[in-house]
Amino acid sequence: MIIQNWSFQARTFSSLGMKRLSSSGGVSPPPVRRKVESTTTKTAVASFFTPISQKKPEKITWRIVNKSLIAGKYASGSGENAQTQPGKRRKVAAFDLDSTLIATASGNRFARDSSDWKWWNPKVPEKLKQLNVDGYQIIILSNQKKISIQTDLKAGRSESKSLSNFKEKALAVMRQLDIPLSIYAATQYDEYRKPRTGMWKEFLDDYDLDVDDRRVDLEESFFVGDAAGRPGDHSCVDRDFAANVSIRFYTPEEFFLDASPEQVIRQFDPKAYLDVDPDAPVVSTFSKSHPLELVIFCGSPGAGKSTFYWKYLKPSGYERVNQDILKTRQKCIKVAKDHLTAGHSVAVDNTNANTETRAYWVELAKEFQIPIRCIYFTSPPNLCRHNDAVRASNPSLVRPLVSPLLPRPSAQAT
């Protein structure tokens, strides 16, 4: 009787999800667990169990630049290499982080937590250590748009969980290398984000490499990254960044595995717009045809509207009306009326993207009984975005056209 009850219970438990018996009566073997390479070292374990009072100060210092850029500097016990001597040009080995130096240990596209990482290839750490021996200053430059640098007050944290995870992972990487290096992470769509050069400029300032007797050896320096414009790459920002700071570029496969260069697909190359024969005849683009008239521009930000005004319309006596300066349409119309009343032709340097906006200026022309013309700028979107980044990052080159970097849809923010 007891045996029969036990048998009944076993069948019942099996139907409720307990391990089933095979047809031969044996228990099915457990599923094979995938082996994940551990990045936890004995030193890290020992540090975890060491009392706080006995722990040595951390070798890394962190700071946030302009509420946007995360900067961390790791000082190993051996100190900085010989390249810090005044008068010597510094050789720089710069690297992207994700999919270049490290990959996720889980195999997921994005890391699950701060411990979900492994070296991109076993050759990575030994290669970086050799670069340090060879006198290179090693830096990591990474776009990290998923990191929030806002204080997480709701969770009672002094910093966000995403920022804490990034710091923990970066520190683990640096500890395993244990060589002098710095890491910079751009969290916003601004001057720090690759391919723009803000992170590079911050690095130069941090290491005093922007003074005459301490400069970067551009011929010997290089940048390694996976966003290289190859078929299947998510973008070309790493290759473009290297071009912007005038250093050589390698993919991780080329640098760590000695692979042959792959085909590059460039959706946009600004150099193509510079291949113009300076001796070629200039086509007349604009001429003043009436003593008093109203000219309105129509085109995307960065299409060249303001440059066109300063080059062609200003010398012809046109007064400029710009909403970026005047802030409201009502004020633009008032200023335009004042100029027209004084007998000066007016150029409306705004995007004027729709018929409703342009209708205000058509009515103004009717009010003054003067001709109105529209100049339509057809610059492609990639060129407009490039021009926008250039003028925001290099105000000294484009005065008086200085303007902040315009926001960009997150789907395009590589």
Q: How confident is the model at residue 3 (pLDDT cuts 50, 70, 90)?
A: very low
Pick the more confident residue, 40 or 291: 291
The tokens of 329 are what?
């349409």
CB-CB neighbours of 138 under 10 Å? 21
Do the Cβ atoms of 375 and 297 come closer than 8 Å?
yes
| In the predicted structure, residue 7 carries a pLDDT above the cut 60 | no
Do the Cβ atoms of 98 and 81 come closer than 8 Å?
no
Mean pLDDT of 85-107: 92
Mean pLDDT of 293-304: 96
Q: Mean pLDDT lowest for which of 98-112, 113-127, 380-394, 400-414?
A: 400-414
Q: How confident is the model at residue 267 (pLDDT cuts 50, 70, 90)?
A: confident
pLDDT tens across 138-173, in order?
Answer: 999 999 999 999 876 676 778 999 999 999 999 999
Do the Cβ atoms of 350 and 297 come closer than 8 Å?
yes
pLDDT tens across 321-353, in order?
Answer: 999 999 999 999 999 999 999 999 999 999 999
- Backbone region of residue 352 per phi and psi (left: phi > 0; alpha: psi in -120 to 50; beta: other values): left
β-bridge pairing 60-65 and 69-74: antiparallel
Strand partners, 376: 298
The tokens of 253 are what?
């496969």
Closest CA relative to residue 354, chosen from 296, 295, 278, 274: 296
pLDDT tens across 13-32, in order?
Answer: 344 444 444 444 455 566 55
Cα torsion 398, 404, 409, 410: sign: positive
Domain extents in the chain: 56-257, 287-414
The tokens of 169 are what?
């992972």
Q: Does domain 287-414 have CATH number 3.40.50.300?
A: yes
User: Element (H or E) spanning 204, and its range?
Assistant: helix 198-206
* CATH homologous superfamily, domain 56-257: HAD superfamily/HAD-like (3.40.50.1000)
Q: CA 152 to CA 164: how far, in whole Å?
A: 11
User: Whole-model pTM?
Assistant: 0.73
Q: How many CA atoms lie within 13 A of 121 on its CB side?
A: 13
Give residue 182's identity as a one-letter amino acid code: S
The tokens of 125 are what?
């750490």
Residue carrying the six token digits 């723009």:
196
The tokens of 279 are what?
């001796």
Do the Cβ atoms of 297 and 308 come closer than 8 Å?
yes
Residue carrying the six token digits 């391990």:
19
Distances (CA, A) of 148 to 47, 112, 164, 181, 363: 28, 16, 10, 23, 47
pLDDT tens across 171-224, in order?
Answer: 999 999 999 999 999 999 888 999 999 999 999 999 999 887 679 999 999 999
Same fold yes or no, 56-257 and 287-414: yes
Q: CA 138 to CA 122: how far, in whole Å?
A: 18
Q: CA 252 to CA 124: how far, in whole Å?
A: 9
